[in-house]
Amino acid sequence: MLVKVVTFFLIGIAVLAMFGRLKFPGQSRLENAKCPKCGRYKIGKGPCSCGHIGHRKG
């Protein structure tokens, strides 16, 4: 009985790890937050410190 519980627990962790690898949380958001000009991460909605205003069209 206990072996079954442990097996299911391990399978659950494995599935979670696989999903975590496939869909890294916030990865695409971080890419969108990057300045297309200098590649630095922008904080907030304002223009980058390099002067580039991040308009995202399409």
Distance CA 18, CA 11 (A): 11
> Judged by CB under 5 A, does residue 34 bind Zn ion?
no
* Residue reference for tokens 């991040």: 54
Among 18, 38, 41, 47, binds Zn ion (CB under 5 A): 38
Three-class secondary structure of residue 29 per DSSP:
helix
Closest CB to Zn ion among 25 and 51? 51
> Judged by CB under 5 A, does residue 37 bind Zn ion?
yes
Q: Give the binding site for Zn ion (CB under 5 A).
A: 35, 37-38, 48, 50, 52
